[in-house]
Chain A
Amino acid sequence: MEIEEKLSVLNYKTDKGFEHITVTPDICEVCPDYFCTFACPAKCYTVMEGKLNFKYEDCVECGTCLFACSHGSVKWNNVKGGHGVKYKYG
């Protein structure tokens, strides 16, 4: 089962007005390791044609990327207003 398929069973209430995680493209552009792409359990970070892509909509708010990135690119906030992932089992 691909990770995309696994994420598709989850219930997200995406906050269209607030991206709780942002990355700094200038830092990512020269990243020597892209460890975020290996660490993030929801595959929110991918490298395509040499560029880092990040999508906050798939985030399960685990906090891994916050410290996985050792270059200071990731700005991590809690989601607001009850948005984000909504587990039914947990």
Chain B
Amino acid sequence: MAIKIIVMMKQVPDAEEIFIDPVKFTLNRAQARGIINPSDENALECALKIKDQTGAEITVLSMGPPAAESAIIECMGRGADRGVLVTDRVFAAADTYATSLTLAASVKNLGEFDLIIAGESTTDSGTGHVGPGVAEFLGIDQATYCTSLHIENDALVAERDLEDGTEVVSIGLPALATVLISSNIPRRAKLRLKIDALRKGIEKWDHDTLKLPPEWVGIKGSPTVVGALKIPEERKRAAKRITVDQLGELVKELGGMGLIKTEEEEA
């Protein structure tokens, strides 16, 4: 029997179209259009690769406003079999804790599964909390910062990209993995699959579906408080064009700035 994979996907405002309000220091997302969170595209691609090799039934699970439907359809157009959107006003303004809890409850509601794959972090908050949070709430093992995933002998074999090297781990199923943006090149949707996806449609779940205590979800279930926001100082690009014979000067210059060590210093 084909294994069951859940891909957690978030629709995020296109980071290229978000601007910081120079007066209020807030993020202006009004102009930004929704896209699939980039590393979630890689998560889906990992799932699709497993499906290509050994067969799998892939469900895309997303939480967000109704407009996120188009992102789920796109995932189905690439090869996911089923789409579920958890959407309700009471889930709004959830922090990573409440979001993880709501998603974990949604996973339970989906029934049996073997593997959950998510992007390492989202471009609109970048905490990387939600994947691990879901694994914790479900009480399953997890592998983070993955660049490739395989199923071998009923276990997940994951390559993890760490600061000082690559680690290969094998963990029993069911498990959760978060995937880095560099792990693969996501495939494109196909017309045939997108038409089929639009005909099939997605499932929309709300508060009544999950039946969680109201104080566990949305803003009520969110212990995080944002203290202050600071904008990092913008740095000028330091790139400059040089010719080969200017290379020596550049080395001296960078050495002088303490950015590189020259041989003389090392000796």
A interface residues (Cβ-Cβ under 8 A, vs B): 11-13, 16-17, 80-83, 86, 88
What are 7 A-B interface contacts by the 8 Å CB criterion? A11-B17, A12-B16, A13-B35, A17-B185, A82-B189, A83-B188, A86-B14
Known interface pairs A16-B185, A81-B188, A82-B189; 10 further A-B residue pairs with C-beta atoms within 8 A, sorted by A's residue number:
A11-B14, A11-B16, A13-B35, A17-B185, A81-B189, A82-B188, A86-B16, A86-B33, A88-B17, A88-B31
Question: Which residues on A sit within 8 Å (CB–CB) of B35?
Answer: 13
Contacts of B188 in A (CB 8 A): 80-83
Give the number of residues in B that approach A within 8 Å (Cβ atoms): 9
| Complex alpha-carbon distance, A61 and B17, angstroms | 20
B 176-201 to A, binary, CB cutoff 8 A, 1 in contact else 0? 00000000010011000000000000
Inter-chain CA distance A13–B185, complex, in Å, is 13
Residues in B with CB closer than 8 Å to A13 are 35
Please provide the chain B residues from 29 to 58 with a CB less than 8 Å away from any CB of chain A in the complex: 31, 33, 35
* Least Cβ–Cβ distance between A49 and chain B, in angstroms: 10
**Which 5 pairs of residues, A with B, have the shortest CB-CB distance?**
A81-B188, A11-B16, A17-B185, A16-B185, A80-B188
Residues of B within 8 A of A17 (CB): 185
Please name all residues of chain A whose beta carbon is closer than 8 Å to the beta carbon of B31 when the two chains form the complex: 88
Separation in Å of the B244 CB from the closest CB of chain A?
Answer: 12
